[in-house]
Amino acid sequence: MTNSDIENPTADVIEAAGGLLWRETPQGRELALIHRAVYDDWSIPKGKRDPGERWQETALREIEEETGCKAKLVSFAGSTAYTVKGAAKIVLFWNTALIGDCVFTPNDEVDELIWLPVEEALGKLSYGNEKTLLKMVGS
């Protein structure tokens, strides 16, 4: 345990939700990954809950905000937990299915959206906890 892990033990827990956004193609199932320029990372769409918002609503809102895609919930995928500047953060994820077409527009938060098969997504994701989640649900 490092000092950064315990510097903020009484901080509110950061609550976030996201979704593994899947689409079916003639080549098989693909997962949406986003690139966030500020962190220079590849991740699964996710973000903080708004006050009074249900976890599932957060997941769908964040998917749409970050990808330009509408989605529907399919099943609960799992959770991750880690610290951010010493504060505990929990993220709940759902498997979701694409509804219609995406209209992705790069912005300050997300500058790229890609669709990859599971094996390629595992190689592209920046975070071990998201890779572990994908390994559990992606087969």
At 131 the three-state DSSP class reads helix
pLDDT tens digits, one per residue of 10-42: 789 999 999 999 999 999 999 999 999 999 999
Neighbours of 138 (CB within 10 A): 18
At 133 the three-state DSSP class reads helix
Instruction: Find out whether 58 and 137 touch, Cβ atoms under 8 Å.
Output: no
**How many alpha carbons lie under 13 Å from residue 138 in its C-beta half-sphere?**
22
At 5 the three-state DSSP class reads helix
pLDDT tens digits, one per residue of 80-123: 999 998 899 999 999 999 999 999 999 999 999 999 999 999 99
Q: What is the DSSP string of 37-87?
A: TTTTEEE--EEEPPTT--HHHHHHHHHHHHHS-EEEEEEEEEEEEEEETTE
CA dist 53 → 16, 127, 131 (Å):
11, 26, 27
Q: In which residue are the tokens 């975070």 written?
A: 127
Neighbours of 105 (CB within 10 A): 9
- Which class is domain 3-137? alpha beta
Predicted model pTM? 0.91
> What average pLDDT does this structure show over 66-92?
96
Report whether pLDDT(43) > 50.
Answer: yes
